[in-house]
Amino acid sequence: MKVEDIRTVAIVGAGLMGHGIAQEFALAGYDVRMQDLTEQNIQQAMVSIRANLERLVGLGLISPQQAEVTPGRIRTSTQLDEIASEADLVIEAVFENLEVKQDIFRQLDELCPEHSILASNTSAILPSKLAIVTKRPERVLVVHYWNPPYLMPLVEIVRHPEVSDETVATVYELLLKMGKSPAIVQKEAAGFIGNRLQVALFREAISMVEKGIASPQDIDTVIKNGPGRRWAAAGIFEMVDTGGADLILSVCEYLIPDLENSNEMPPLLEKNVERGDLGIKTGKGFYEWTPEKAEALRHRIAQALVKIAQW
């Protein structure tokens, strides 16, 4: 299948990620079908989509006319067969449970046309675990969007041994066409690219807190005002080439032996979970959170993402 053959896109799951992905394709002009288990979930998703579109209008990223017509491109149903029967591409976006996802992929394999590409927005499950339950492993892969998908350009395309080069190329070109920044994970690995990097950085950050080297607040200050600003403009390997491999090697020789390399879960993180200090959802984590502070943080993140997108 070529990218121009994709006209109808189906989204399974209308939750946090699913409705945002449906919104992206509808905004790009595709015929979108969105399914969830209950009509209530679907209606809430449509309310969220309209609110997201209004926010994008307010940020100057789309026109009022685009916001008005986009929801009309999304047809909804509580029945999987109704959204799958004519889909050229299906993106599953339900919660992270392997058995649930495998059951959905079995059904999609039976319900979808033979040419359809089946993708999962999973952030944790390897695509081979989903491809194995279908008769079309060459057309199964992971497309891992980042939240919120309508502001974050990154989508990780994760291969597995049996997926075809044509499928990967088609999805890659489709995402480019939509204005996304796709990255291909050539060999499936837990966490893909982004989450492996995030967790590696977090392990070192929380280790520094546990050892009394710095507070969470000061570590966040360093990230936001130091490497974080660089990383928005240049990737880690671009920065290595900018500084020089010889300089980076000398830093690595000095520093790597002292970095955290434990395979155990961070004790401080476990204690926070045991106490119920889960962050914004409970009002306390590494910071104290009021609803006003939480909304201010979300607004700051959204504004920063918009500014970066406008570079």
Q: Give yes or no for residue 154 having a pLDDT over 90.
A: yes
Q: Where are the alpha helices (DSSP H) in the chain?
A: 18-27, 39-58, 64-69, 80-84, 98-111, 127-131, 165-177, 194-210, 216-225, 227-231, 236-243, 245-255, 267-275, 291-309
Q: Where is pLDDT greater, at 308 or 23?
A: 23
Q: Quick check: 138 and 167 in contact, CB under 8 A?
A: yes
Residue 195 known to be catalytic: yes
Give the Cα separation of 139 and 165 in Å (integer): 10
* pLDDT for residue 208: 98
pLDDT in tens, 165-190: 999 999 999 999 999 999 999 999 99
User: Of the listed 85, 123, 164, 207, which one is catalytic?
Assistant: 123
Question: Is pLDDT at 310 greater than 90 in this prediction?
Answer: no
299 classed as catalytic: no
Side chain identity at residue 220, one-letter code: D
Question: What's the pLDDT band for 17 if we cut at 50, 70, 90?
Answer: very high
Burial of 211 (0-12, 13-18, 19+ CB in 10 A): exposed
Comparing 216 with 151, the larger pLDDT belongs to 216
Catalytic member of 52, 92, 120, 156: 156
All domains of the chain in start order, with CATH: 3-185 (3.40.50.720), 195-275 (1.10.1040.10)
Residues of the chain with pLDDT > 70, as a percent, come to: 99
Confirm if 73 and 29 have CB atoms less than 8 A apart. yes
At residue 307, the pLDDT reads 81
Q: Is 24 a catalytic residue?
A: no
Question: Tell me: the pLDDT tens digits for 61-85?
Answer: 899 999 999 999 999 999 999 999 9
| pLDDT at residue 201 is higher than 90 | yes
* pLDDT for the residue numbered 109: 98
Lowest-confidence region among 54-68, 127-141, 211-225: 54-68
pLDDT at position 286 over 90: yes
Name the average pLDDT for the chain. 95
For the ranges 38-42, 117-121, 140-144, 150-154, which has the lowest average pLDDT?
A: 150-154
54 included as an active-site residue: no
Read off the DSSP letter of residue 83. Answer: H
Q: Of the listed 48, 195, 207, 260, which one is catalytic? A: 195
Contacts of 248 (CB under 8 A, 6+ apart): 240
Q: What is the pLDDT of residue 96?
A: 93
In this prediction, residues 17-31 reach a mean pLDDT of 97
pLDDT of 128 > 90? The answer is: yes
The predicted pLDDT at position 303 comes to 85
pLDDT exceeds 90 at position 119 = yes
Place of tokens 């989450």: 195
Phi, psi of 195 (to 5 degrees): -70, -30
Among candidate residues 144, 160, 188, 272, the one labeled active-site is 144
pLDDT value of position 58: 87
Query: Sorting pLDDT into bands at 50, 70 and 90, what band is 12?
Result: very high
For the purposes of burial, counting CB atoms within 10 Å of the CB of 77, is it exposed (0-12), middle (13-18) or buried (19 or more)? middle
Across residues 266-273, what is the average pLDDT? 97
Q: At 11, phi and psi to the nearest 5? A: -115, 125
**Mean pLDDT computed over 97-112:** 98
